[in-house]
Amino acid sequence: MVTIFPLSQDNMLGFTLDGEVDDEGMRKLLMAVEAKVITHGKLRLLGNIKNVSGFASYQSFWNTIKTKKELLDKVEKYAILTDHGWLSTLSEGIDWLAPHMEVKTFRLNEGEVAHQWLRLDREEPSKVEAVKEIDLGDPRLLGLAIVGKLTTADYDRINLLVEEKVKHYGKARILLEVISTDGINARTLWEDLKTSLRLYKDLERVAIIGDQTWLKTSVKLSDLLTPGLDLAAFSTVERKRAIAWLD
């Protein structure tokens, strides 16, 4: 039998499955889920799975849920209370079926813990810096590693670092290592840097390191279009040669 019950937040819904799955109980559950989705857009679900008669019974319940994919896609968190070991294992497969949904199982006596978990918002991934400074062993040289797509904040940081070198040494010599091109438009990377650097005219030498096939071709073309700036490309195994060239 399937019964529904309210939880502490309006975007949450609880249900109990005890014994066989009944059509009327499933109808009421799906109606309640639909109402929550219409009202709140997203839903957090607590399933209290008690004396389910076995795999076939639970499979019948889940197959009914899957027919309403438009509702399933709106469930962002699903906490399952159960003492059935096989159900805990089976529930792991929900991650494959609905990768957007966070699923976690708890023992039947952990209702409060499950409830608190449902209340927690998904943690946002910490922002990874797309530019990292490299110590080249020479204070006159500025080493920068590109490890992701550059943002306005990244360009601002590069400008500050370049300005610091210009302030102390009159000109800036930069080693730019392209480690990752994920999210980077290779054809415009250097052009973006040129237009974003406030002291571009104060760059004296730039060595670009990377094993990307587009790199040397792009640098040769940029060298023709940037008179007055020494620009050269090196592979990752030529790091020492690149540093020596900058010096």
Residues 6+ apart with CB under 8 A from 9: 44, 118, 119
Say if 2-119 and 131-246 have the same CATH topology: yes
- How is domain 131-246 classified at the CATH fold level? Transcription Regulator spoIIAA (3.30.750)
- By mean pLDDT, which of 21-35, 39-53, 110-124, 192-206 is the weakest? 192-206
- How is domain 2-119 classified at the CATH fold level? Transcription Regulator spoIIAA (3.30.750)
Q: What is the pTM of this model?
A: 0.47
DSSP label at residue 237: G
Whether the pLDDT of residue 12 is over 80: the answer is yes
Sequence ranges of the domains in the chain: 2-119, 131-246
**What does the pLDDT look like over 28-84, one tens digit per residue?**
988 898 888 888 888 899 988 887 765 566 666 767 776 777 777 788 888 888 887
Mean pLDDT across the chain, nearest whole number? 78
Distances 56 to 74, 76, 105, 152 between C-alpha atoms, Å: 25, 26, 19, 55
Residues 6+ apart with CB under 8 A from 120: none
> Apex CA 36: angle with CA 31 and CA 39, to 5°?
125
DSSP label at residue 124: P
